[in-house]
């Protein structure tokens, strides 16, 4: 036993000691959001019906391709679809009927039960950026991501009160062989956080490894009967599911684990250049994937996902924070509610290469619609930079601050008698101020959201302190956060079981880097 | 006649020449917004009734002070209020009954009829920042504003397609005596723009000058029968109207010109520290002012205004873009709709000293709610920096870009058969791309909002071009915009009449600088 392990084991003196250690870390954590404000909607029922009718036409007449997967085609044939080659023509109404078997709301369990999240209904769960091969910070600039960066982002997510989820590929640890990095990634989520996390989807065998590792953490029985992994299954838009994604989806749906079925669309390239056309296509794609999951295992939890942005029609580059994707987001959320399934979209998206005003305008113009639309599962809620090519340390803590604000906004207006404050208004009266009154004294600590990044001081004080911009303050904040980080308690037996599993798996195959 | 005037007069060859000159300038201008998306609301009818009942209690029991204005007190006595000293106790229901005389929607005329705006109902009008004594740009930093800056911001507003209004005090020209600067400000709005503008409220005599100058531009009869000035009347919260504001309000309401009746609230100091308490107080204040305008002249156009932010309970500094003011904004818009009057709030507010990510997050978190809440008249829509102490050149063009996005967002989803794009989806089919298809070719020019500030290029290209951030690009953009500026045509007789009026007024009194 290593000294480190011994220390951990010695430190484990029952639930009191665990609580003490957890208290020692003093992390503040908000529960997942249960919204108390209405949804913002942009389409009428009639408009939604038009989109739905068009999606059914796409499913039936044009069809969806399920590529290089005979199982999938056989399942569709059996369900009554008209399969021609790899093209599956799904009769009107069939996909919707299958999706009705999926739960409208489900719980994803975390290894710390206090961190478990509800996905669907009036709940919103924030998860970190997913997928970037690069990282950026103010000190070292842009570089390929490593497993150390990966662990750092897991730690930052753990330390962020309004981050409800540890996410998945918070960055690609390209220093680890491509066929083994999923093992280290899942280990990092378990060891450095106690929030719920995502499995690997880059190969069916890696999905199977993810489920196996989850069983080491949660126990086999528990995983067989509960959702402990949420997994991102991207369509190959337009209207294609490829073998890798179908393979991973079959593993997860078969194991009763959740799949986020996500058309990945840059409108104008992967979908029509119009909003209504994009909506019909992405609905058809999402429906085909969610229905297929139900063919694999009726009742498997699924999430209607969409990543939809537009492109610059001048350069072909993806653009973010512009009005058309916002309208797609609002309307797609309405379509998901009518289907009765949870919805994933949005986040803190931007095309900027640096954490400047562009990054912030675009991110805010994505994140606020995400909350107001009633998105249930929010990937990319913090850290996304450069169109998703970079995980940014400074952006992560800036976005985290915004997530805290969204959490407050979601709770609406407290109309209790105390908050109506008529007595305070009587007490103060015309021409006076409220700073010292009893009501203010009683509420000032919790009254207003306190930003971790914003500087609201006078220009004179700001200049005296070095005229720092938000990026510089964010740089200091993420470093301080990592310095203060303490790992949550983990049963050493679980840690050892994971280590053994990973060692065996790594030994079983040669490294692959592509 | 000066050479400049002679040139202008020679250039005036009837309406064709005017049109040619206007076309020569080639300014793109969007009409004021007529929204096609639903309002976002946060309070239930029951919640709104609670706030309304509390506002009536404030009006009746606590009362509102109308200071140093015997006329005002007499009008209130006559209307049936209980006046004790300067404290006016307004019986339940009286204010609401008076406000019912105000128009729910009105037109503010511009000297170019194409630029006239509708205020109220489903219309939204964007106007520039109002009030800052300082300006900032990237080259010269922060400094006191001058009349040259003022003219520059009028020109930038004129050149901004989604800026529907020329505004009022786009910055304070502190190089002009305080008792004369209103003359130069109004002249600048008339000469350098043809969009609608605001009058002076800093003294009743200056309000009268504003009306007199408007009559030189629009004709006496026209001004007597139409709204050509919208004017900002701030309450001295809590629950006080001062003599200056009442004096200006009497001039404008008496002349049938519009008053934006705006409680100016930093919650926690000028109102209770809670949202529900702040809402009740600002509703009472706004109702008392709007009702008073109806006592001055029944039917006078009024706008329910509110500027509501919160303060840092640690430093006392105002904060922006945080969730509590957003909730106030959404709820106050609902209250205004129930009163049946137009609503003013929001803008692109921020506390940052520089155009960094803080400025952008905060501005976007104010502007998007402004649009979604259905605000009718939006002051501070572009250029606001440093809690309103600075008009920023770079921020102006950054915000202007966001206004263009809001204009698109407000139009919702086009559900025409052409935009449903089913034929395009059939043509392209699974696995292909839409870049070259006929539908994309037909729509690509207008399909997506094209940002004037965002850089969406690859990081390699961005670096090759100097790794500029949004502020640097904005710096180039406002300079290019001013370089391209051409004044709209103005009848030289009007210009001369304004010059004469200003010269006579300036001669009539000594300079005052406080």
Contacts of A7 (CB under 8 A, 6+ apart): none
A422 vs B450: CB contact, 8 Å cut-off?
Answer: no
Give the N- to C-terminal CA distance of chain A in Å, as an integer. Answer: 35
The Cα of A303 is separated from the nearest Cα of chain B by a number of Å equal to: 22
A414 vs B63: CB contact, 8 Å cut-off?
Answer: no
Of B113, B209, B58, which is closest to residue A428 (Cα–Cα)?
A: B58
The Cα of A214 is separated from the nearest Cα of chain B by a number of Å equal to: 34
> Is B446's Cβ below 8 Å from some Cβ in A?
no
Q: Which of residues 98-157 of A touch B (CB under 8 A)?
A: 142
Strand order through the sheet with B123-126: B33-34, B123-126, B377-378, B343-344, B302-305, B258-262, B229-234, B197-198
Q: Which residues is A89 bridged to in the sheet?
A: A82
Tell me: the pLDDT tens digits for B404-456?
A: 999 999 999 999 999 999 999 999 999 999 998 999 999 988 889 999 999 99
Q: In a 3-state reduction of DSSP, which class is residue A462? A: helix
The angle, 0 to 180 degrees and rounded to 10, between the axes of the packed helices B357-372 and B323-339 is: 20
Tell me: the pLDDT tens digits for B34-65?
A: 999 999 999 999 999 999 999 999 999 999 99
Of B78, B66, B101, which is closest to residue B288 (Cα–Cα)?
A: B66
- Full pLDDT tens readout for chain B, 514 residues: 333 333 333 333 344 444 444 444 568 999 999 999 999 999 999 999 999 999 999 999 999 999 999 999 999 999 999 999 999 999 999 999 999 999 999 999 999 999 999 999 999 999 999 999 999 999 999 999 999 999 999 999 999 999 999 999 999 999 999 999 999 999 999 999 999 999 999 999 999 999 999 999 999 999 999 999 999 999 999 999 999 999 999 999 999 999 999 999 999 999 999 999 999 999 999 999 999 999 999 999 999 999 999 998 888 899 999 999 999 999 999 999 999 999 999 999 999 999 999 999 999 999 999 999 999 999 999 999 999 999 999 999 999 999 999 999 999 999 999 999 999 999 999 999 999 899 999 998 888 999 999 999 999 999 999 999 999 999 999 999 999 999 999 999 999 999 999 999 999 999 998 8
Backbone angles phi, psi at B103, to 5 degrees: -70, 140
A273 vs B428: CB contact, 8 Å cut-off?
Answer: no
Contact assessment for residue B157 and residue B148, using Cβ atoms and an 8 Å cutoff: no
| Radius of gyration from C-alpha coordinates of chain A | 24
Strand order through the sheet with A318-319: A264-267, A307-311, A318-319
d(CA A97, CA A384): 36
A272, A416, A425 ranked by CB distance to B62: nearest: A425
A327, A447, A454 ranked by CB distance to B273: nearest: A447
A319, A368, A434 ranked by CB distance to B271: nearest: A434
The Cα of A495 is separated from the nearest Cα of chain B by a number of Å equal to: 40
Contacts of B510 (CB under 8 A, 6+ apart): none
Of B296, B300, B299, B318, which is closest to residue B309 (Cα–Cα)?
A: B318
Q: In a 3-state reduction of DSSP, which class is residue B150? A: helix
Q: Which of residues 328-347 of A touch B (CB under 8 A)?
A: 331
B360 vs A355: CB contact, 8 Å cut-off?
Answer: no
- Full pLDDT tens readout for chain A, 514 residues: 333 333 333 333 344 444 444 444 567 999 999 999 999 999 999 999 999 999 999 999 999 999 999 999 999 999 999 999 999 999 999 999 999 999 999 999 999 999 999 999 999 999 999 999 999 999 999 999 999 999 999 999 999 999 999 999 999 999 999 999 999 999 999 999 999 999 999 999 999 999 999 999 999 999 999 999 999 999 999 999 999 999 999 999 999 999 999 999 999 999 999 999 999 999 999 999 999 999 999 999 999 999 999 998 888 899 999 999 999 999 999 999 999 999 999 999 999 999 999 999 999 999 999 999 999 999 999 999 999 999 999 999 999 999 999 999 999 999 999 999 999 999 999 999 999 899 999 998 888 999 999 999 999 999 999 999 999 999 999 999 999 999 999 999 999 999 999 999 999 999 998 8
The Cα of A342 is separated from the nearest Cα of chain B by a number of Å equal to: 21
Contact assessment for residue A331 and residue A306, using Cβ atoms and an 8 Å cutoff: no
> Is A239's Cβ below 8 Å from some Cβ in B?
yes
- Burial label for A453, CB within 10 Å (0-12, 13-18, 19+), is buried
> Is A313's Cβ below 8 Å from some Cβ in B?
yes
Q: Chain B residues with CB inside 8 Å of A428's CB?
A: 238
A142 vs B456: CB contact, 8 Å cut-off?
Answer: no
Q: How far is CA A93 from CA A510, B27, B72, in A?
A: 47, 51, 68
The angle, 0 to 180 degrees and rounded to 10, between the axes of the packed helices B275-296 and B70-79 is: 90
| Closest-approach residue (CA) in chain A for B315 | A457
A356 vs B356: CB contact, 8 Å cut-off?
Answer: yes
B277 vs A414: CB contact, 8 Å cut-off?
Answer: no
The Cα of B130 is separated from the nearest Cα of chain A by a number of Å equal to: 19
> Is A33's Cβ below 8 Å from some Cβ in B?
no
Q: Burial letters for B478-504: b for 16+ Cβ neighbours within 10 Å, e otherwise?
A: beebeeebeebbbebebbeebeebbee
d(CA B320, CA B358): 10
d(CA B337, CA B315): 35
Contacts of A371 (CB under 8 A, 6+ apart): A33, A35, A124, A406, A409, A410
Give the N- to C-terminal CA distance of chain B in Å, as an integer. Answer: 35
Q: Which of residues 348-387 of B touch A (CB under 8 A)?
A: 351-365, 368-369, 372, 386-387
| Closest-approach residue (CA) in chain B for A403 | B323
A447 vs B313: CB contact, 8 Å cut-off?
Answer: yes
- Burial label for A45, CB within 10 Å (0-12, 13-18, 19+), is exposed
| Closest-approach residue (CA) in chain A for B62 | A426
> Is B236's Cβ below 8 Å from some Cβ in A?
yes
d(CA B20, CA A500): 81
Structure tokens at A436: 């010292």
B314, B414, B433 ranked by CB distance to A274: nearest: B414
Element (H, E) at B84: strand B82-84
> Is A37's Cβ below 8 Å from some Cβ in B?
yes
Q: Chain A residues with CB inside 8 Å of B356's CB?
A: 356-357, 360, 469-471
SS3 annotation, A390-457:
EEEHHHHHHHHHHHHHHHHHCCCCCCCHHHHCHHHHHHHCCCCCCCCCHHHHHHHHHHCCCCCCCCCC
A276 vs B414: CB contact, 8 Å cut-off?
Answer: yes
The Cα of B317 is separated from the nearest Cα of chain A by a number of Å equal to: 6
Angle CA(A411)–CA(B402)–CA(A163) in degrees, nearest 5?
35
Q: Chain A residues with CB inside 8 Å of B354's CB?
A: 467, 469
Q: What is the DSSP string of A300-353?
A: --EEEE-EEEEE-TTT--EE-S-HHHHHHHHHHHHHHHHHTS-EE---S----S
| Closest-approach residue (CA) in chain A for B318 | A456
Q: Hunting for tokens 């007024």 — which residue is that?
A: B505
d(CA B376, CA B107): 12
> Is B309's Cβ below 8 Å from some Cβ in A?
no
Q: Chain A residues with CB inside 8 Å of B133's CB?
A: none
Contact assessment for residue B294 and residue B99, using Cβ atoms and an 8 Å cutoff: yes
A322, A386, A435 ranked by CB distance to B448: nearest: A322
Contact assessment for residue B378 and residue B344, using Cβ atoms and an 8 Å cutoff: yes
B432 vs A368: CB contact, 8 Å cut-off?
Answer: no
d(CA A485, CA A237): 40
């Amino acid at each position: 036993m290593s000294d480190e392990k011994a220390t951990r084991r010695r430190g484990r003196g029952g639930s009191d000691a665990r609580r003490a250690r957890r208290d020692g870390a003093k992390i503040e954590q908000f529960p997942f959001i249960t919204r108390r404000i209405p949804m913002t909607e942009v389409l009428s029922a009639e408009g939604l019906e038009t989109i739905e009718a068009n999606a059914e036409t796409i499913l039936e007449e044009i069809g969806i391709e399920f590529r290089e997967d005979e199982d999938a085609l056989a399942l569709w044939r059996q369900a009554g679809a008209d399969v021609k080659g790899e093209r599956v023509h799904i009769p009107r109404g069939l996909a919707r009927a299958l999706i009705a078997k999926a739960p409208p709301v489900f719980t994803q369990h975390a290894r710390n039960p206090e961190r478990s999240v509800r996905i669907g209904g009036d709940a919103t769960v924030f998860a970190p950026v997913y997928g970037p091969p690069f990282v950026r910070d103010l000190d070292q600039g842009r570089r390929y991501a490593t497993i150390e960066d990966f662990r750092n982002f897991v730690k930052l997510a753990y330390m962020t009160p309004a981050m409800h989820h540890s996410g998945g590929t918070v960055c690609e640890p390209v220093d680890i062989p491509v066929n083994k990095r999923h093992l280290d990634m899942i280990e990092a989520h378990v060891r450095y956080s106690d929030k719920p996390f995502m499995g690997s989807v880059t190969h069916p065998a890696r999905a199977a490894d993810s489920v196996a590792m989850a069983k080491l953490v949660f126990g086999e029985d528990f995983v067989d009967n509960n959702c402990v992994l949420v997994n991102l299954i991207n369509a190959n838009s337009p209207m294609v599911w490829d073998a890798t994604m179908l393979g991973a989806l079959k593993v997860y749906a078969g194991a009763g684990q959740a799949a986020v079925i996500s058309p990945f669309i840059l409108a104008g390239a992967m979908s029509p250049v119009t909003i209504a056309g994009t909506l019909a296509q992405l609905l058809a794609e999402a429906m085909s994937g969610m229905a297929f999951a139900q063919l694999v295992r009726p009742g498997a939890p699924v999430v209607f996902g969409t990543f939809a942005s537009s492109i610059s029609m001048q350069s072909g580059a993806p653009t973010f924070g512009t009005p058309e994707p916002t309208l797609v987001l609002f309307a797609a959320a309405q379509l998901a509610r009518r289907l009765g399934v949870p919805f994933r979209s949005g986040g803190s998206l931007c095309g900027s290469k640096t954490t400047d005003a562009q990054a912030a305008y675009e991110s805010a113009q994505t994140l606020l619609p995400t909350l107001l639309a009633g998105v249930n599962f929010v990937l990319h809620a913090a850290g996304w930079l450069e169109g998703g090519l970079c995980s940014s340390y400074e952006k992560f803590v800036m976005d985290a601050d915004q997530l805290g604000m969204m959490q407050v906004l979601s709770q609406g207006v407290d109309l209790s008698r105390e908050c109506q404050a008529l007595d305070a208004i009587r007490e103060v009266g015309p021409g006076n101020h409220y700073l010292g009154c009893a009501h203010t004294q009683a509420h000032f600590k919790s009254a207003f959201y306190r930003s971790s990044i914003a500087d609201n001081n006078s220009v004179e004080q700001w200049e005296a302190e070095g005229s720092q911009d938000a990026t510089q303050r964010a740089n200091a904040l993420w470093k301080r956060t990592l310095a203060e980080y303490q790992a949550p308690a983990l049963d050493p037996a679980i840690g050892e079981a994971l280590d053994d599993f990973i060692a065996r798996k790594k030994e079983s195959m040669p490294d692959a880097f592509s």
